[in-house]
Amino acid sequence: MEATIEQKEIVEPYSTITNELQATLVDYKKAFDTNLFEEQSELILTKIENYLKDSKNTVKGVDVQNPHDLMKEVLSIMNSSKDASLNEKLSTIVDLYLKTGVQANSPGYMGRQFSSVFPIAGVFDFISSMLSQPSSFYEAAQLPSVVRVFMAKELNKFIKYPEDEFDMVTTSGGSLANLTALLSARNYYFPEFWKKGILSVKQGEVPAIAVSEEAHYSIIRTVEMLGLSRHNIIKLPTNYKKQVDISQVETTLSEAKENGFKVFCIVANAATTAVGAFDPIDKLAEIAEEQDCWLHVDGAHGASFLLSEKQREKLKGIHKADSITWDAHKMMFIPGTCSMLFYKEKHKSKLAFRQKASYVFEAEEDEYTKYDGAKKNIECTKRPMIMNLWGVWTFHGASVFEEKIDYLCDLTQRAYQELKKEEDFEVLHHPEANMLCFRYKPLQEDHTRIADFQLKIRNQLKANGNFFISKVSLDGEIALRVVFMNHNTQLNHFKTLLEEIKVTGKTILQTSLKSAMTL
């Protein structure tokens, strides 16, 4: 009792002041009104539910609006009458957001490596947004920190690193995971580089990495960010499948050595972004060991294939890699971003960064701070992205990923067979993953004359709005690229796409013929 009285005496004058201050927070309190929160969340939920139902049955690509027109719509929302209810505004905004996006849930979406997401993952993302628990430090995000360790162990059952030795950090995207891995590799082989930069490099031992031409651009960017340049990239030749040609690796590496380079890291693509080719990880691991260099697997897209019994073989030897990039927002269908960087050996995960910061880091690790990720990755504030993945894992298990990955790969094989039957189409590779690249060539003569024909087709398809596909440059010439990411897409949709390509292509040819004749 006494304590309560004492407390009252202290608190009273203070609370009078705060009450006065609080009285100024009129708009702020309105913004935090929990009834409003409920109303708005319900409105959004209903809209998204309807959107999910509708879009899976509507073949649609993307409705590309002119940005100036879209800006006008934004301004009109901002200027809408003060009387418009908050919900009317919200409704307009959500409709506009849905309408102007790539329709990732529609069977017409075959464009890129992002996808529609597991609904439960979206729900977890919503919780994370509301709770605000940035996940770089255990004390701020206790559950996400423990879940990260749990999910690392679950996924490692597929990688098969020695259980007590490996580590995993989450990063905001695969590009950042690649950067972190290569930084660790450089610091491992060039420990002085951190302090002295390029001056620490001895003659005849210039740092370089080896990777095929098909590497994702984030690898090239990373090398430049490491204080090196494009000259420090040793290009590994590829075979007709766009995989590293293993028979040429050793010669290429010894030439690099003769030219004064110390290749500290080989990067294996699993799979390549353009065509989805898997480099021979197992054999590259052997070579990396012989040469005493790091092997990094860029599995942003294809590490998820480990979850499928049918596909797993493509990643044979992955447990020998020093590090692996694995994006869950690609073939695990989690909201972007959710990336993981695995290290075979725990201690190597601490090599990337060395800064001290007394306001967050503890000098001595204890049983709590050993769950901190911050010392091992570039972000300070970071989303607890692993929760979204854990959500799906908890409610649907690993098999849901396997089912979808197998479906998409089978669909790609069937589409490939379909395409081979077509006379006017040229298939550019035998697909290993869920990408398929091809060209439409209805004329016999050389097509370099209308070099941008494929590009024109792609742009016209986008404008038609039924299908969303991408393009890629292969062997110096543009090709059409389909990435099957959506379980709502069926073979018939692909056949309809081919029909639309034919019609669109012929129209483009006729138009260019006419304009050539009038010249």
Ligand X SMILES: *Cc1c(COP(=O)(O)O)cnc(C)c1O
Q: Which residues bind ligand X (CB under 6 A)?
A: 113, 173-175, 178, 216, 218, 269, 273, 298, 300-301, 327, 337, 339
Q: How far is the CB of 330 from ligand X (least distance, A)?
A: 6
Within 10 A of 151 (CB to CB), how many other CB atoms are there? 20
Q: How far is the CB of 271 from ligand X (least distance, A)?
A: 7
Q: How far is the CB of 86 from ligand X (least distance, A)?
A: 35
Strand ranges, E, within 213-361: 233-236, 261-269, 294-299, 323-327, 339-343
Residue 131, sorted as left (phi over 0), alpha (psi -120 to 50) or beta, turns out to be alpha
- Both tokens of 47, joined, read 């809209």
**Between 174 and 384, CB nearer to ligand X:** 174
**Between 176 and 508, CB nearer to ligand X:** 176
**Between 300 and 461, CB nearer to ligand X:** 300
**Between 61 and 276, CB nearer to ligand X:** 276
d(CA 355, CA 334): 32
- Both tokens of 11, joined, read 């608190």
CA distances to 50, 168, 234, 360 from 140, in Å: 36, 19, 42, 11
Within 10 A of 164 (CB to CB), how many other CB atoms are there? 6
**Between 55 and 178, CB nearer to ligand X:** 178
Q: How far is the CB of 243 from ligand X (least distance, A)?
A: 13
Q: How far is the CB of 363 from ligand X (least distance, A)?
A: 33
Q: How far is the CB of 116 from ligand X (least distance, A)?
A: 17
CA distances to 51, 263, 330, 373 from 173, in Å: 27, 26, 10, 15
- Both tokens of 314, joined, read 């493509």
What is the total residue count of the chain?
519
Q: How far is the CB of 114 from ligand X (least distance, A)?
A: 8
**Between 108 and 173, CB nearer to ligand X:** 173
By Cβ distance, which residue is nearest to ligand X?
A: 174
**Pairing of the two strands 339-343 and 323-327:** antiparallel
d(CA 207, CA 463): 46
Q: How far is the CB of 439 from ligand X (least distance, A)?
A: 22
Least Cα distance to 482 among 423, 425, 441 occurs for 425
